[in-house]
Amino acid sequence: MMTRITRTLLAAGASVLAAMGATSDATAGGGVAGLPYAEGQTFRTLDDYLAHLKERSTIGVPHYVEVAPGVFVRQGQVAPRGEKPARMTREELRRQFGFDR
């Protein structure tokens, strides 16, 4: 269940990505560039990007953990007081980060 705060954060994330110049060419084979913590890399799939974040989590980069099939929770970031960490579906993450599929 998405809260109003989660929806607001998703919208803000999409705005930040657009402002950063994130582009989606995943279907054309180019992948998605300009993602947070990407270090200049381009990712062809959401799974590739999530694996990169997981790898970088050893140095404090926030990452996503699959807690149920197709449901993820962001780790490495404290939820606002009184709130549980936001759960996001694979589809929500795919759209937030600009992957075609």
Q: Domain span at residue 16? A: 4-97
Average pLDDT score over the chain: 80
38 CB-near residues (< 8 Å, 6+ apart): 49, 52
- Determine the pLDDT at residue 52: 98
36-60: string of b/e by CB count within 10 Å (b at 16+)? eebeeebbbebeebbebbeebbeee
Query: How many folded domains does the chain comprise?
Result: 1
Rounded Cα–Cα distance for residues 25 and 90 (Å) = 19
Using the structure block, give the residue that is written with the tokens 């939820």.
79
Whether the Cβ atoms of residue 70 and residue 89 lie closer than 8 Å to each other: yes
**Confidence grade of residue 4 (pLDDT, cut at 50, 70, 90):** low
Q: DSSP class of residue 76? A: S
pLDDT tens for 33-74 read 999 999 999 999 999 999 999 999 999 999 999 999 999 999
The pLDDT value given to residue 77: 76
